[in-house]
Amino acid sequence: GQNIDQPTEMTATEGAIVQINCTYQTSGFNGLFWYQQHAGEAPTFLSYNVLDGLEEKGRFSSFLSRSKGYSYLLLKELQMKDSASYLCAVKDFGNEKLTFGTGTRLTIIP
Amino acid sequence: SQTIHQWPATLVQPVGSPLSLECTVEGTSNPNLYWYRQAAGRGLQLLFYSVGIGQISSEVPQNLSASRPQDRQFILSSKKLLLSDSGFYLCASDRISYTFGSGTRLTVV
């Protein structure tokens, strides 16, 4: 089975930087995903990490440490439209299913 | 690129009525398909997944069933809805990366 933990809520200021952490426990790690979900909408894919290190994509970056069972999503130059829930999800070896954390609701304030 | 179509977008159904939600995939073949449910304020829970036509795996015991009559079609059904079946239902495909449909918000009254 899998255990995925991330903070329930965070608040950050427009223009600033925020880091959303995710820790996981799994029997056979095969990749970690980050998704963004605006209220009432479906999740949209942000990033995928399978090897240790940082993946950068514009204002968003995602980091993975497999030995620590830890990932973070870094959002820079925050905009009001970044207010959303951010979901961490893990895939196990041997199957293609994704197990999701409960998500972090991020609120951006002016 | 793959596209996932889900309908309807919203649905209000009385307790005890049947349910059929449809998901179709374009732009790929032989995808793995998934049904997730998201209750209000909670995380995504995997309900069913399918690796091919007629192949369905259930993740949690429940009042729902799933079928895959064609390669790119995945259907979620119930014979009699319960109040606890209310939620946001999402179909997903993982041919390259996990892609979600736009979802169906089901309210059972």
Cα-based distances in Å from A93 to A25, A41, A59, B13, B99:
13, 29, 30, 39, 19
Would you list which residues of chain B are within 8 Å, Cβ to Cβ, of chain A? Answer: 32, 34, 36, 42-44, 46, 49, 51, 59, 90, 92, 94, 97-103, 105
Q: Does the pLDDT value for residue A2 go beyond 80?
A: no
Instruction: Answer yes or no: do B100 and A42 touch at CB < 8 A.
Output: yes
Instruction: Answer yes or no: do A89 and B90 touch at CB < 8 A.
Output: no
Q: Give B103's contacts in chain A (Cβ within 8 Å).
A: 41-42
* Shortest Cα distance, chain B CAs vs residue A2, angstroms: 13
3-class SS of residue B108: strand
- In this prediction, residue B40 carries a pLDDT of 77
Instruction: Answer yes or no: do B90 and A33 touch at CB < 8 A.
Output: no
Q: Give A42's contacts in chain B (Cβ within 8 Å).
A: 90, 100-103
Radius of gyration of the CA atoms of chain B, in A: 13
Query: CB–CB of B106/B87 below 8 Å?
Result: yes
- In this prediction, residue B4 carries a pLDDT of 93
pLDDT tens digits, A22-80: 999 988 888 999 999 999 899 999 999 999 999 999 999 999 999 999 999 999 999 99
* Shortest Cα distance, chain B CAs vs residue A100, angstroms: 6
Radius of gyration of the CA atoms of chain A, in A: 13
Contacts 24+ apart (CB under 8 A), B26-32: B26/B2, B26/B72, B27/B1, B27/B2, B27/B3, B28/B2, B28/B72, B28/B93, B28/B95, B28/B96, B29/B71, B29/B72, B30/B71, B31/B2, B31/B71, B31/B72, B31/B93, B31/B94, B31/B95, B32/A96, B32/B93, B32/B94, B32/B95
- In this prediction, residue B29 carries a pLDDT of 85
Q: Does the pLDDT value for residue A1 go beyond 70?
A: no
Q: Give B34's contacts in chain A (Cβ within 8 Å).
A: 97-98
Q: Where are the beta strands (DSSP E) in A1-110?
A: 3-5, 9-13, 18-25, 29-37, 44-49, 53-57, 60-65, 70-75, 84-92, 98-100, 104-109
Mutation target to probe the B interface, by most B beta carbons within 10 A, among A37, A55, A104 is A37
Instruction: Answer yes or no: do B46 and A41 touch at CB < 8 A.
Output: no
- In this prediction, residue B43 carries a pLDDT of 85
User: Cis (ω within 30 of 0) for the bond into B8?
Assistant: yes
pLDDT tens, per residue, chain B with 109 residues: 778 999 999 999 999 999 999 999 998 888 999 999 998 777 899 999 999 999 999 988 778 999 999 999 999 999 999 999 999 999 999 865 788 999 999 999 9
Which residue would you say has higher pLDDT here, A107 or B40? A107
